[in-house]
Structure 1
Amino acid sequence: MLSSIKRFLIGRPLKSAALGEQKLNILKALAILSSDALSSVAYGTEQILIVLATISVIAFWYSIPIAVGVLFLLAALIISYRQIIFTYPHGGGAYVVSKENLGENAGLIAGGSLLVDYILTVAVSVSAGTDAITSAFPVLHPHTVPIACVLVVLITILNLRGLTESATILAYPVYLFVFALFILIGVCIYKILTGNVAPTVHHPSIGAPVQGITLFLLLRAFASGCSALTGVEAISNAIPNFKNPAPNNAAKTLILMGSLLALLFSGITFLAYYYGIAPKAEETVVSQIAKETFGRNYLYFFVQGTTALILVLAANTGFSAFPQLAYNLARDKYMPRMFTIRGDRLGYSNGIVSLGIASILLIITFHGQTEHLIPLYAVGVFIPFTLSQTGMIIKWVREKPAGWLAKLTANLIGALITLIVLLIFFITKLGQVWFVFIFLPLIVILFHRINKHYEAVGEQLRVYNQLPAIPVEGNVIIVPVAGITRVVENSINYAKSLTDQIFAVYVSFDREDEKRFAEKWEKWQPDVRLVTLQSHYRSILHPLSKFIDTVEHKASGNNYRVTVLIPQFITKKSWHNILHNQSSLLIRTYLLYKKKVIVATLPYHFKK
């Protein structure tokens, strides 16, 4: 039944040979990997205006030069990540760049920041989209958390179905959002050029003097506007998901994403300034622009509907990039090896499921009100931004390839700006981002502990020719028995086929029972030695363990190995198991952790 449900939700398994069919072309990759970056257009301008509103409405003209600064940083990041794509075509982005050029810890900080950032991406995006849904339907407001959790589950299932299938479905709302905003911007500009703007519209003149404006506040507004750049790095992490030639296709997708982001962000920022729009708690900036342009007609609701969709689907960038980054970390032995395994539909299913679970836990913990996590979300992006840019600077200085000075200049400018933005976040929003100073070191320590474990395991598993194997002269088999049954008979016969050194062990709770069982055994299996153990505290494990230790100690001196053969009956129906005690399971679990003892299970299947 569970298998049927799985097949219905996820689809039939794909052959490994079909991996090439699961690669993304440019249009699908743009939809699935750019949703986070493009969705930030819906709130990037608003974040700038919120800071400027603390001075006065006249200060809103500063949004134009601030937007130019954000676009300048976007250009630097696009150039940098394009270089990263061609230099590191196997993916990994900031993690690989930082690890190779700045050292192991820098790479782990970048990787850990991005992993946390992708979890926050899903939680914040879905919560924002849920807010848009409950705003349209206030009756649903008390159910915000369940709605958000259901949306995460749906997106998780969609991604488990495979890259191409999820990209095909998600491409429509992403491109509808882009189309809707281009219509909005185009109609607005047409109205402005033809003089059809309402006479009540008023905006401050560019260059108008503003009382109380400071450099610190402008930098804070700039840092807030840089939230529009979240998700830019996702393409460089997911290069292996592209069709060949993967680096070329990834680079083209990155440039397309950067161009769309620049056009939409600059268009929304200009229109917000021109219409003199101020941020409101009850209505977004995009909503106000659409209402000024179209009124509350079907075009207005088209813009609002596609905006709500893109905010929810921005989570999909996390689902695309998190599994690939987790794969790179697991391949380098910093995360569990399960993250390197492809699922039925050839995606890294364990990474997808883990991201979904972590996001749901975050939504439940914060009751769907994750907006105060946005500064932490932005910091999680700008740490890898800064580290990757710095890593590329080191690489160009060290290798000096053709044209390295131009590349160095682009990365140097990008590194300085991202570092300034990062410092501004830490200075102005310390109360909201202090947690990064705790969880990042903890994540790096965890990565090191995992790596240490894998290195220790590898060292113990390697075959050294100079180390002689310990000879095994024979085998002693211990068979725990609970009575005289077909199951026990099956186990004893199997043990006899392997060796004549057999001990049947019976644990009794009283003397009379012990005596009766010994008499029955002598008549039934006189050629197999029976050892009866008395348990005063009704424990099977304790006396059995002591006996096994005694036998193992004597056997090891003669180069004999001890095998504990546990009889196990298998019921015809799984629910029948709850009707029987699970002593064999307890014995097996306990003995697995004993050194130098082999634990084997011999099943006996019931027919009814």
Structure 2
Amino acid sequence: MKIEEEPGLRVVKRMAEYQPPRSWRTWLIGRPLQTADAPHQTIGKAIGLAVFASDALSSTAYATQEILMILAVAGTAAFGYVFPISIAIVALLAIVTLSYEQTIHAYPGGGGAYIVARDNLGELPAQTAGAALLTDYILTVAVSVSSGVAQIASAYPVLYPYRVSLAVGMIFLIMLINLRGVRESGVTFAIPTYFFLLTMVITVGTGFFKHFTGTLGTVVNPPELAIEPIVGAVTPFIILHAFSSGTAALTGVEAISNGITAFKEPRSRNAGITLIWMAMILGSLFLSISFLAGQVVAVPSEVETVISQLARTIHSSRGVLYQATISATTIILIMAANTAFADFPRLSALIAADGFLPRQLTYRGSRLVYSRGIVALAVLASLLIILFQASVTRLIPLYAIGVFTSFTLSQAGMARRWWKIGKLQPGEEVAEPGSVLRGDRNWQIKMLVNGFGAFCTTLVTFIFAYTKFTDGAWIVLILTPTLVILFFSIHRHYQRLARSLSLEDYGEPPRIPRHRVILPISGVHRGTLSALRYARALSDDVTAVHVSIDPVEAEKIRKKWLIWGDGIRLVILDSPYRLLAEPLLKYIEEIANQRQPNEIITIVVPQFVPKRWYHNLLHTQTALWLRLALLFTPGIVITDVPYQVD
């Protein structure tokens, strides 16, 4: 045992010798890790791409389909717009990626939009960014898993009625994997991520080869259109609506900036490189799928996905390569939820550390991950899937508006950060909670980049809100302010609590002039005498109280007390209405009203503890209900004295 004692102080520091024993949790999520193991749980660029980019990469599996779904309103002739719209979305991706690359180097401690907004725009924008991102992470899990289940149902239609149960089961499987820790979950998810990239490169490469050689056909026996054409021509509103649906491809771009601390040193450099890799792969795949979907005349359908139509047309059958593509797409869509499981707990811990969410979310579990945040995300996403019956089309309108709100606040915050840097004197440094401001010769160019990024994402946010409002975006537009109000309510509670507990101007605590002890008893037995001994150790002013509903029983107790009560007074309260709690509480209230200033009243409750836990159901649990009844009464302490019964 190692003990360190500070000279002149009565403070002793020692290392706890307790080691968690092996249990079913060890088998399920692994052995507990020490805090000192944290640096060894970081990940490199290759694993980081699998952990933080799976959400963005997986969106290529449904982004094109969502664009086609909106264009279908104007008829199949409108499908020719899918590729130009995809080009516009990739251009937006380049702007957002460049902006976030600057954020990664400016804020190496992570936190993304939340930290940037907090340091540069204030608490309200910060909490708005936090609420928007947390909502979007929940939707990420719901959309990704639902889309993965849709791929399975496309290949095996018999499973379609069981899609909700499958989706919920998969969410809890991902939750268990993430509870094992960042490093283990990263290695687990790296295999399906790179398998997806391999199969998509083969599929897209084969598709382009057949296209340029003139051997690429069209979809055989295409499914029925999900939406019947109701508009005769393509209108600007339909184009904007399709564009806003396709921007789902950008969700997950911010994930790396939120999780920089998960990377090995140099963290910012590794995270920045991973972000560039992700953007290049995402843009290339998205454009390729959108182009080839137009060439094979794929149609949007709830029965068969665009990826399924594309794969069976390119590979000319539902053979091995088709099955591999569908399997890889399904797995990556489900695994994409891992990005949210990596970032939601980190972001909620940051917000909780600032006092805007329950403090419990800041605690790391046995595997050095924020376990409570992981479990909370799994539960909330499962409820959403049950509510929307795992329908991607019904969930998509709720999706992306939150992440674009956070994009806007992040870029606006970064633009203001560069403006503040421009005001610094040569050699001057200013420390902020999330970063250190230092002079930069290129601050004007960087401010322009982030300012333009903020303008673009603001425009997209308004387009999304306008075009998707009646489809369900109104829910997010109401939910986000509601969450912000909730965050500030929690913050005010913590502030009031801190003021109440503060020792500022408190002085020396007043002495306790008198200590009264009240001992409620239901009978005279070994447990009662054990509690009586403890009560007498606290004070000489002890009063036993028995509530009588049976005169015969009360007389037996009186006689026993004369023998075993050791001279302590006993008050018997007759209860003509056969009530137990109310007469006792009334008596305690009378005593409390007569007490002197700073006088303490302690209620010592005898409690015998049966050998088996379920035997407690056979007893009245007086200590429990008495504690609940008196919890908010000032100046009263409630103490249980357990007596273990063999």
Q: 2:599 aligns with which of 532, 544, 560?
A: 560
* Structure 2 segments unaligned to the other structure (5+ residues): 1-20, 221-231, 423-439
Work out whether 1:524 is the aligned partner of 2:560. no
- Which amino acid in structure 2 is aligned with residue 101 of structure 1? N
What does 1:282-297 correspond to in 2, within 5 Å?
Answer: 282-296=303-317, 297=319
- Which amino acid in structure 2 is aligned with residue 477 of structure 1? V
Q: C-alpha offsets along residues 373-417 of structure 1, whole Å, 9 cap, x if unaligned?
A: 211112121111112112222222232232122212222222222
Number of the residue aligned with 1:70: 89
- Which amino acid in structure 2 is aligned with residue 33 of structure 1? F
Give, in angstroms, the shift of residue 140 of structure 1. Answer: 2.5
Give, in angstroms, the shift of residue 571 of structure 1. Answer: 1.6
Contact persistence 1:159–1:166 (CA under 8 A)? yes
What does 1:419-438 correspond to in 2, within 5 Å?
Answer: 419-431=458-470, 432-438=472-478
What does 1:318-333 correspond to in 2, within 5 Å?
Answer: 318-333=340-355
Give, in angstroms, the shift of residue 370 of structure 1. Answer: 4.8
Give, in angstroms, the shift of residue 552 of structure 1. Answer: 3.0
Q: 1:19 aligns with which of 38, 47, 67?
A: 38
Number of the residue aligned with 2:285: 264
Matched residues in 2 for 1:310 and 1:198: separation? 27
- Secondary structure, counterpart of 2:32 in structure 1: coil
Go from structure 1 to structure 2 and tell me whether the alpha carbon gap of 1:102 and 1:261 turns closer, same or farther (over 3 Å shift). Answer: same
Q: C-alpha offsets along residues 143-165 of structure 1, whole Å, 9 cap, x if unaligned?
A: 22222111111111111111111
- Which amino acid in structure 2 is aligned with residue 285 of structure 1? V
What does 1:171-320 correspond to in 2, within 5 Å?
Answer: 171-198=190-217, 212-296=233-317, 297-320=319-342
Q: C-alpha offsets along residues 29-76 of structure 1, whole Å, 9 cap, x if unaligned?
A: 211111110011111222233333444545444333322221111111
Go from structure 1 to structure 2 and tell me whether the alpha carbon gap of 1:298 and 1:349 turns closer, same or farther (over 3 Å shift). Answer: same
Go from structure 1 to structure 2 and tell me whether the alpha carbon gap of 1:192 and 1:144 turns closer, same or farther (over 3 Å shift). Answer: closer
- Which amino acid in structure 2 is aligned with residue 263 of structure 1? S
What does 1:84-233 correspond to in 2, within 5 Å?
Answer: 84-198=103-217, 212-233=233-254
Give, in angstroms, the shift of residue 113 of structure 1. Answer: 1.0
What does 1:477-556 correspond to in 2, within 5 Å?
Answer: 477-556=517-596
- Which amino acid in structure 2 is aligned with residue 520 of structure 1? K
Matched residues in 2 for 1:474 and 1:317: separation? 59
- Which amino acid in structure 2 is aligned with residue 289 of structure 1? L
Matched residues in 2 for 1:268 and 1:330: separation? 41
Give, in angstroms, the shift of residue 200 of structure 1. Answer: 10
Matched residues in 2 for 1:138 and 1:199: separation? 22
Count of residue pairs brought into register by the alignment: 596
Matched residues in 2 for 1:26 and 1:395: separation? 28
RMSD: 2.2
Q: C-alpha offsets along residues 503-558 of structure 1, whole Å, 9 cap, x if unaligned?
A: 1111111444334422321222241111111223333222222222233333434x
Q: 1:373 aligns with which of 363, 384, 395?
A: 395
Matched residues in 2 for 1:596 and 1:161: separation? 45
Go from structure 1 to structure 2 and tell me whether the alpha carbon gap of 1:275 and 1:516 turns closer, same or farther (over 3 Å shift). Answer: closer
Matched residues in 1 for 2:46 and 2:160: separation? 36
- Which amino acid in structure 2 is aligned with residue 173 of structure 1? P
Contact persistence 1:123–1:363 (CA under 8 A)? yes
Matched residues in 2 for 1:435 and 1:328: separation? 25
Number of the residue aligned with 2:367: 345
Go from structure 1 to structure 2 and tell me whether the alpha carbon gap of 1:39 and 1:448 turns closer, same or farther (over 3 Å shift). Answer: same
- Secondary structure, counterpart of 2:208 in structure 1: helix
- Secondary structure, counterpart of 1:581 in structure 2: coil
- Secondary structure, counterpart of 1:567 in structure 2: strand
- Which amino acid in structure 2 is aligned with residue 583 of structure 1? T
Matched residues in 2 for 1:274 and 1:526: separation? 97
Matched residues in 2 for 1:132 and 1:345: separation? 33
Work out whether 1:51 is the aligned partner of 2:91. no
- Which amino acid in structure 1 is aligned with residue 455 of structure 2? L
Work out whether 1:590 is the aligned partner of 2:623. no
Higher mean displacement: 492-501 or 157-166 = 492-501
Matched residues in 1 for 2:108 and 2:580: separation? 58
Matched residues in 2 for 1:348 and 1:606: separation? 39
Higher mean displacement: 415-424 or 326-335 = 415-424
- Secondary structure, counterpart of 1:429 in structure 2: helix
Go from structure 1 to structure 2 and tell me whether the alpha carbon gap of 1:134 and 1:46 turns closer, same or farther (over 3 Å shift). Answer: closer
Matched residues in 2 for 1:384 and 1:244: separation? 27
Among all aligned residue pairs of Structure 1 and Structure 2, give the percentage whose two residues are the same amino acid.
42
Matched residues in 1 for 2:215 and 2:94: separation? 34
Number of the residue aligned with 2:415: 393
Higher mean displacement: 54-63 or 382-391 = 54-63
Matched residues in 2 for 1:57 and 1:327: separation? 47
TM-score by length of 1: 0.93
Matched residues in 1 for 2:551 and 2:50: separation? 75
Number of the residue aligned with 1:439: 479
- Which amino acid in structure 2 is aligned with residue 406 of structure 1? I
- Secondary structure, counterpart of 2:596 in structure 1: helix
- Which amino acid in structure 2 is aligned with residue 377 of structure 1? Y
Go from structure 1 to structure 2 and tell me whether the alpha carbon gap of 1:57 and 1:465 turns closer, same or farther (over 3 Å shift). Answer: closer
Number of the residue aligned with 1:462: 502
Contact persistence 1:123–1:360 (CA under 8 A)? yes
Matched residues in 2 for 1:345 and 1:568: separation? 37
- Which amino acid in structure 2 is aligned with residue 429 of structure 1? K
Number of the residue aligned with 1:206: none
Matched residues in 1 for 2:301 and 2:561: separation? 86
- Which amino acid in structure 1 is aligned with residue 520 of structure 2? P
- Secondary structure, counterpart of 2:328 in structure 1: helix
Give, in angstroms, the shift of residue 229 of structure 1. Answer: 0.6
Contact persistence 1:476–1:555 (CA under 8 A)? no
Give, in angstroms, the shift of residue 434 of structure 1. Answer: 1.3
Contact persistence 1:566–1:588 (CA under 8 A)? no
Contact persistence 2:154–2:303 (CA under 8 A)? no
Q: 2:445 aligns with which of 406, 421, 424?
A: 406
- Secondary structure, counterpart of 1:473 in structure 2: coil
Contact persistence 2:196–2:325 (CA under 8 A)? yes
Contact persistence 1:363–1:370 (CA under 8 A)? no
Contact persistence 1:162–1:346 (CA under 8 A)? yes
* Structure 1 segments unaligned to the other structure (5+ residues): 202-210
Give, in angstroms, the shift of residue 276 of structure 1. Answer: 4.1
- Secondary structure, counterpart of 1:556 in structure 2: coil
